[in-house]
Structure 1
């Protein structure tokens, strides 16, 4: 079995959503001074590869701790949307995959944008779902939707319309994924949030597992 890490590493100089603070790492104790090492981490709930709960945008939305653990695990389809015209992921791209999407729990959009991680381009003009595509996804009996970009809405969005449409269907949203090109559709996907109380979101360790050639012999 092959396990593929789909998470961006957390560190102080990592990219963050504009206007939000970067993680702060400080040393509380060292082996030299205390005989053990401990670090203190201060960060918001939507940093790095992370999950949005419905409560992130909806006043009456569920928090992550209100969802059963199995909501964060399932079969995934990776949709290659790198060549979508104008960076728009429309209804046509999804309806053509209707049969595949009926067999999975998560849809992961491979936009190719993770190649810009750490660059200014990462925060600009990344591919986006149309409102019609987001509304259609909400009817597909999915557990969640993921993307290798910083957000499901434009960086200057004020109403976060795509978040609203997806979260209203009680989907969890996973942002800032990476290495989606290595994941085969139909593999197992895991995105495990921290066990935080009343969590509107959480950093996740996202990964996929799939059988390699040796396992099939």
Structure 2
């Protein structure tokens, strides 16, 4: 006799599932997938803000580095290690110096041309003296040399690649002043105009060379300071 109690009910009669909710008898149940815990809104906001701050910092760092390493493309950008306006004072000094050298050259050339044309008659205290042909020849020759010295001064001031020649030309004028001293010592006192010329010829060339050296030295110092700055 068959019993109808629930304890003896077959698996098929209970919906085909075992006691643990698995499938039919003998079939293993599919494991459940773990669900990731949801991030609280406050944590999510903090993470987003941190990400934005990191991105802004990276962009700023990249931009500043790029700007520092990329040279300006402007055609008027100052040279490396040189600030604009640093060489203006030195340039003004050289312009004044060159102007003075040009004026000296013009004066010498004018005196030389004057004596070359008039000869010894252009000298003071010689109007009543008879003309000596030998002295006249020599005097006009050296008058032409004076024109050449004046032209050398002018050429040096204009070109200025030949600044080393300035020393030689100044030496020539200085030696000419020494010649006037010897003439005064052996032949007597000349006219006061020639004494003034003698003083100028002895004093001006050394002063001009010292001035040249001073400007060159200060220009080098300004350039060195500009490169350091």
Asked whether the two chains share a fold, i.e. TM above 0.5, the reply is no
Which structure carries more helix by proportion?
A: 2
After TM superposition, the score normalised by the length of structure 1 is 0.19
Whichever of the two has the greater Rg, that structure is: 2
Greater RCO structure (CA 8 Å; 6+ sep) = 1
